[in-house]
């Protein structure tokens, strides 16, 4: 997961601090957190969806989805609860920081 992040980071405006961000992320993953396998499995499931577009529709950062299996997407997203940031909208799902709306 860190390798994918580093690759994307190096191609962005964050490239000047990518190495530092990767090091901090590696330290975070080294912490014995029992949720990491659950989160990684959810992210792997979400990655199976075809990529869509991203735009801002106040107050949400809206991530468009192209796939129709929204029940499976919702189950995968719920594995990432509680939300720490947001609000996001992924397809028809509004995700807010408290994790209440989905």
Residue 71 has pLDDT above 60, yes or no: yes
User: Does any domain span residue 18?
Assistant: no
Asked whether residue 8 is domain-assigned, the answer is: no
Tell me if 74 is assigned to some domain.
Answer: yes
Strands (E), 1-102: 54-57, 60-63, 88-90, 93-95
Residue 20, pLDDT score: 92
Domain contains 6: no
Assigned domain for 37 exists: no
Structural domain range at position 56 = 49-102
Q: Give tens-digit pLDDT for 4-51.
A: 888 888 888 888 998 998 898 888 878 877 888 888 888 888 888 777
Q: Is residue 95, in this structure, part of any structural domain at all? A: yes
Domains contained in the chain, number: 1
Mean pLDDT, the chain, rounded, equals 79
Q: Are 53 and 70 in contact (CB under 8 A)?
A: no
CA distance 92 to 76: 14
Examine the pLDDT at 68 and tell me if it is beyond 70.
no
């Amino acid at each position: 997961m860190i390798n994918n992040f580093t690759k994307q980071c190096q191609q962005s405006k964050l490239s000047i601090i990518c190495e530092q961000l990767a090091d901090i992320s590696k330290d975070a993953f080294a912490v014995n957190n029992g949720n990491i396998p659950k989160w990684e499995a959810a992210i792997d499931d979400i990655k199976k969806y075809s990529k869509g577009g991203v735009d801002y529709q106040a107050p949400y950062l809206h991530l468009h989805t192209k796939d129709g299996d929204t029940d499976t997407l919702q189950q995968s997203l719920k594995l990432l609860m509680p939300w720490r940031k947001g609000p996001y909208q992924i397809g028809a799902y509004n995700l807010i920081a408290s994790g209440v709306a989905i």
